[in-house]
Amino acid sequence: MGLVSDLWTAYRMRLKRRRFLFRALRKRRQLISHTDQTAKIIDHDILVFSTIRNEIDRLPYFLAYYRSLGVQHFLIVDRRSE
């Protein structure tokens, strides 16, 4: 019974990953670039990739923390903040 259960769980996880991949491919055109400064990124720069939503109060602390660690560029996706 344990082997069948493990196989079923693995199959369900594979289906779930495929659904997420399909959704990401379908929705990729909905992203809008407000400020594109990627030309300023050079080799060996430290980058932070982040997704945020309604984080206006925490954002200055977030940016200050990572800048203190040496991050030079932030690539942020805003998920329809209010």
* Burial 35-72, CB ≥16 within 10 A → b, else e: eeeeeeeeeeeeebeeeeeebeeeeeeeeeebeeeeee
Intervals of the chain under pLDDT 50: none
pLDDT of residue 70: 92
The one-letter code for the residue type at 7 is L
User: pLDDT for 45-64, tens place per residue?
Assistant: 889 999 888 988 999 999 99
49: nearest Cα among 16, 41, 24 = 41
pLDDT of residue 1: 58
